[in-house]
């Protein structure tokens, strides 16, 4: 999962959430231009996050593009990632992203972390992280967690239909960075019949005291502003 998959890039499609937003604002298709040209507009960039046309969300079967299943309603139907995220925001539900190896590899795009945070994703659990993107996530207040050595979402039986509880990260408030946090993934009404609770200790990838300060404050911007006020 690269930053090319995560961060908006390339042309804006008319049937995408970003394209629909522009049309609602009276912008003609010929003037859409690219995500890169509109990277100062967070309304466009958040709608383009995870919008790569080759992205395959494993909550769906062989579907490419910016889609997921929206469990905020009883149907759990296919939806644009942005639209589902907005529904979860209205319901007050924070989100989790589950990924594989070298999450965030590729070019260091700041919007890959910004868009993730703006979608309401609070935690990313991956097998491993690309160094810069991991740090950028922390700077945006997103917690990077790593599966235990040798474990993956598949080996633990996670499929994305779960609700997650995380305990132990509160230790940051005492000035210590915990090595692990305890994760409990509970099946929901949308999970397969017979699915059981999954428990494991995830590795906390807050690797430096500075990163701990950023995350404790909710991100680097909050940290800087509070430092200036102090």
147: DSSP letter = P
- Rounded mean pLDDT of the chain? 95
Give the pLDDT confidence of 33-58 residue by residue, as tens digits: 999 999 999 999 999 999 888 899 99
The predicted pLDDT at position 29 comes to 93
Closest CA to 205 of 152, 147, 146: 146
**3-state DSSP helix/strand/coil percent for the chain, to nearest 5?**
35, 20, 45
Report phi then psi at 204, rounded to 5.
-80, 120
Confirm if 187 and 197 have CB atoms less than 8 A apart: yes
Q: Please give the model's pTM, rounded to 2 decimal places.
A: 0.95
Closest CA to 48 of 70, 30, 32: 32
DSSP assignments along 62-115, one per residue: S-BSSEEEETTSTT-EEEEHHHHHHHHHHHT--EEEE--TTBTBSS--HHHHHH
Helix (H, G, I), strand (E, B) or coil at 146: strand
Distance CA 146, CA 41 (A): 32
Burial class for 203, CB neighbours closer than 10 Å (0-12, 13-18, 19+): middle
Give the pLDDT confidence of 1-30 residue by residue, as tens digits: 999 899 988 899 999 999 999 999 999 999
**Nearest-5° Cα angle at 141, 54 to 135:** 70
Instruction: Give the mean model confidence (pLDDT) for residues 203-211.
Output: 97
- 97 forms bridges with which residues in the sheet? 124
What percentage of the chain reaches a pLDDT higher than 70? 100
- 34 forms bridges with which residues in the sheet? 11
Give the pLDDT confidence of 62-115 residue by residue, as tens digits: 999 999 999 998 778 999 999 999 999 999 999 999 999 999 998 878 899 999
Strand residue runs (E) in the chain: 67-70, 77-80, 95-98, 121-126, 143-146, 163-167, 180-186, 198-204
């Amino acid at each position: 999962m690269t930053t090319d998959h995560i961060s908006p890039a390339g042309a804006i499609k008319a049937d995408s959430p970003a394209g629909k937003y522009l049309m609602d604002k009276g912008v003609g298709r010929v003037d859409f231009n690219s995500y890169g040209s509109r990277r100062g507009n967070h309304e466009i960039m958040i709608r383009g996050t995870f919008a790569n046309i080759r992205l395959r969300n494993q909550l769906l079967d062989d579907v490419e593009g910016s889609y997921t299943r929206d469990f905020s309603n009883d149907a759990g139907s296919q939806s644009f990632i942005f639209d589902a995220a907005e529904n979860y925001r209205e319901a007050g539900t924070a989100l989790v992203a589950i990924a594989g190896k070298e999450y965030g590899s590729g070019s260091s795009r700041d919007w890959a972390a910004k868009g993730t945070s703006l979608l309401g994703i609070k935690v990313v659990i991956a097998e491993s992280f690309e160094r810069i993107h991991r740090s950028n996530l922390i700077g945006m207040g997103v917690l990077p967690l790593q599966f235990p050595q040798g474990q993956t979402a598949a080996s633990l039986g996670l499929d994305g239909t779960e609700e997650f509880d995380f305990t132990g990260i509160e230790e940051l408030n005492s000035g210590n960075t915990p090595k692990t946090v305890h994760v409990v993934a509970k099946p929901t009404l949308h999970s397969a019949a017979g699915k059981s609770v999954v428990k494991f200790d995830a590795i906390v990838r807050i690797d430096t005291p500075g990163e701990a300060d950023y995350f404790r404050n909710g991100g680097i911007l909050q940290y800087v502003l509070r430092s200036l006020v102090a």
